[in-house]
Amino acid sequence: MQGLLLLGLLDEAFPTKASRNHWIEIDNQVLNALFTLMSLYQHPSLFHHLVLLCRWRPEDVTALRKIYCKDGAYRPHEWVHMLVVLLLLHITCFAQYISCGLYWGYTSEARPEFAEIFFFGLGFAAPVLAGAYAVYSPLGRECDAELDEESQGGTNHEQSSVKPGIRIRKLRALVSDPKWAGGLFDCRDDITVSFLSCFCTFCVFGWNMERLGFGNMYVHITTFLLLCFAPFWIFNISALNIHDNVIGDMVGIAGIVLCVFGLLYGGFWRVQMRKRFRLPGNELCCGSKSLTDYLQWLFCWPCSLAQEVRTGNKYEVEDDSLYRKHLEEEEEEEDIHPFLQPLPRESGLNSLGKLQYDSSLLISYPAKSPPASTAAAMDESRSQEEDEPHDIKEAYLVLDFGGNMKPPSRQLILSKDPMNV
């Protein structure tokens, strides 16, 4: 409609200049609200990219190359080229914010025309230049083989500078067929997670996305907040500047509807989570798994978020895969059955013929010299064993609590069959 009005194609419908200017102002306010929302939605990610560019760690370089470099490969002077693209995109956002202030702070008659045209042109030209620069600069060109070898050589040099050492990792089992942790409405499985998902939705969502490998926590929190609250304020402020009650009410209602649809942001990342980790989907809505995920977030976001958090608690995430968690019970079993276990003749057999494991059987290396109290206790135990009648039979060759070898009993030494004393 804005284009038709400016081209004069609607002069018959709006014969007077005042009526045309009135509708041009309405269109300007609506478009201003939409462009401001788009800038707000993109700005958290741009700020995060700028932080990564300033920090410039190896993991930051890899992440930025995937976004700004073709094929994610090394480019000469890539830091400078990325900075140019980022600055142009930031200029786009700030130019739109200034234009928004002009439309909200001035009436159509009092608004400075030069500032309006300048910042509108700057907001239009900056993203065009950023796109062209990203395509035609070294960032968008094909990577040469020599440059690739240089980047690999630099990577190998960085790896060689790392001190050699032994890395010990826990043995984990890759889950080939992962499942959601409980159903959508199994909120009682973890009532704490359910309450936090309901009352601290944005913080819990951002935290869960970062630990699952879907980006920075603060970027997700800020973007989700803007999607759910920014449309209400921007569209209603724009409605106050539209001097038409019917159109103003419609713009205000549109802002409220967009706030509700901001919950679809969670549905989008639920779809990504399900696809990346090969989780089962629900085809309840029109046979579409993705549509079902969106509607679950739209109509029951606490239950959906709680299920995602419980699933993240159930598995360990690494390299876009889910691994079975190392449970505490398994750790206790490993402690009970140490790597250096005593032989049967050293630990003895119980009444069922099974090996007896005890904390006193742990082998200490190197051996410790027994303290005076322990040595005295050992001498006393030897004397007691010698005084015992020969019908009491023992078959123990153990280590005491200090990790010191205890000599066998006299009966065990005299026996022809040590295992059948």
Q: What is the pLDDT of residues 129-143, one digit of tens each?
A: 999 999 999 988 887
Q: Are residues 296 and 365 in the same domain?
A: no
pTM for the complete prediction?
Answer: 0.69
State whether 175 and 317 are in the same domain.
Answer: yes
Q: What percent of the chain has pLDDT over 90?
A: 41
Please report whether residue 13 resides in a domain.
yes
Give a yes or no: residue 310 inside a domain.
yes
* pLDDT at residue number 72: 86
> Which DSSP category does 164 fall into?
P
Based on the fold, state whether residues 81 and 124 are members of the same structural domain. yes
Supply the pLDDT for residue 308. 93
Structural domain ending residue among the three candidates 112, 129, 146: 146
Spatial contact of 1 and 27, defined as CB atoms under 8 Å apart: yes
Does residue 204 sit in the same domain as residue 317?
Answer: yes
What pLDDT does residue 43 have?
A: 93
Q: Are residues 221 and 201 in the same domain?
A: yes
Residue 159 lies in a domain: no
Burial of 176 (0-12, 13-18, 19+ CB in 10 A): exposed
CA distance 347 to 396: 6
158 belongs to a structural domain? no
Structural domain includes residue 354: yes
- State phi, psi for 405 to the nearest 5 degrees: -70, 135
Whether residues 231 and 356 fall in one domain: no
The pLDDT of residue 409 is 60
Domain that holds residue 396: 336-420
CA distances from 44 to 48, 206, 240, 273, 311 (A): 6, 13, 27, 21, 27
3-state SS, residue 323: strand
**Does residue 155 sit within a domain?**
no
Residues 298, 186 share a domain: yes
Q: Does a structural domain hold residue 166? A: no
For residues 349 and 356, give the distance between their C-alpha atoms in angstroms, rounded to a whole number: 6
The answer to whether position 273 is within a domain reads yes
In this structure, the answer to whether residues 73 and 139 fall within a common structural domain is yes
| Residue pLDDT, tens place only, 30-58 | 889 999 999 999 999 999 999 999 999 99
Cis peptide bond upstream of 366, omega within 30? yes
Task: Quote the number of domains for the chain.
Answer: 3
Same-domain check for residues 318 and 340: no
Q: Which residues of the chain carry a pLDDT beneath 70?
A: 1-15, 17, 144-172, 326-421
Long-range contact set of residues 327-334: C-beta below 8 Å, sequence gap at least 24? none
Same domain, 49 and 192: no
* Residue 394 and residue 260 share a domain: no
pLDDT digits (tens, 9 = 90+) for 196-212: 999 999 999 999 999 99
11 lies in the same domain as 113: yes
